[in-house]
């Protein structure tokens, strides 16, 4: 399944957070949601990206955006990642990669001549009505926040114009 397209309703889902509490996307209507998919907790790129989101929390909050990180890790591994990096935003465990499949981020990858399946580093901005407002395929961890925050500014400016 490909990444969702702008203008489409964001596929709804429910996943457990680091404490095992279910989080449902449609329950967040009325709020901008930054839904970012990352391959694996506690790996270098994913740690860089998560810590950057943590460090930009005030920037997301000032734009009224809630950040949800999704990886195909079990709850226990997500919880360990949250604790170890003092992450103060919501990470979700998609252990069966159902939501990654739903959003087109479960892809075949290749490293050192071996192919395997995993989550691609992609981000989807969902507007307060639950519609896909922007899609970022193949995000680079160091550029993620600047691109997403700029997009939120542009989208919110367009929404108020």
Catalytic residues: 46
**Cα→Cα distances 138→7, 28, 119, 126, 150, Å:** 20, 25, 10, 17, 17
Name residues whose C-beta falls within 8 Å of residue 34's C-beta, 6 or more positions apart in sequence: 60, 65, 66, 67, 68, 123, 125, 126, 148, 152
Q: How many Cα atoms sit within 13 Å of 90 on the Cβ side?
A: 21
Question: Measured between alpha carbons, how far is 66 from 56 in angstroms, rounded to an integer?
Answer: 12
Of the candidates 33, 54, 53, 46, the one whose C-alpha atom is nearest the C-alpha of residue 72 is 46
What are the backbone angles phi and psi of residue 15, rounded to the nearest 5°?
A: -135, 155
Q: How many Cα atoms sit within 13 Å of 40 on the Cβ side?
A: 4
């Amino acid at each position: 399944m490909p990444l969702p397209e702008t203008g489409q309703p964001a596929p709804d889902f429910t996943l457990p957070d680091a404490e095992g509490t279910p989080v449902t996307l449609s329950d967040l209507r009325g709020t901008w949601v930054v839904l970012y998919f990352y391959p694996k907790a506690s790996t270098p790129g994913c740690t860089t990206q998560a810590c950057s989101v943590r460090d930009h929390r005030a920037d997301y909050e000032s734009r009224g955006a809630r950040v949800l990180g999704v990886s195909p890790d079990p709850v226990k591994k997500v919880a360990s990642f949250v604790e170890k990096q003092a992450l103060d935003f919501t990470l979700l465990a998609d252990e069966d990669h159902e939501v990654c499949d739903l959003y087109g981020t479960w892809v075949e990858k290749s490293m050192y001549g071996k192919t395997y399946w995993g989550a691609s580093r992609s981000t989807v901005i969902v507007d307060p009505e639950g519609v896909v407002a922007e899609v970022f395929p193949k995000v680079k961890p160091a550029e993620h926040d600047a691109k997403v925050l700029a997009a939120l500014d542009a989208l919110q400016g367009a929404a108020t114009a």
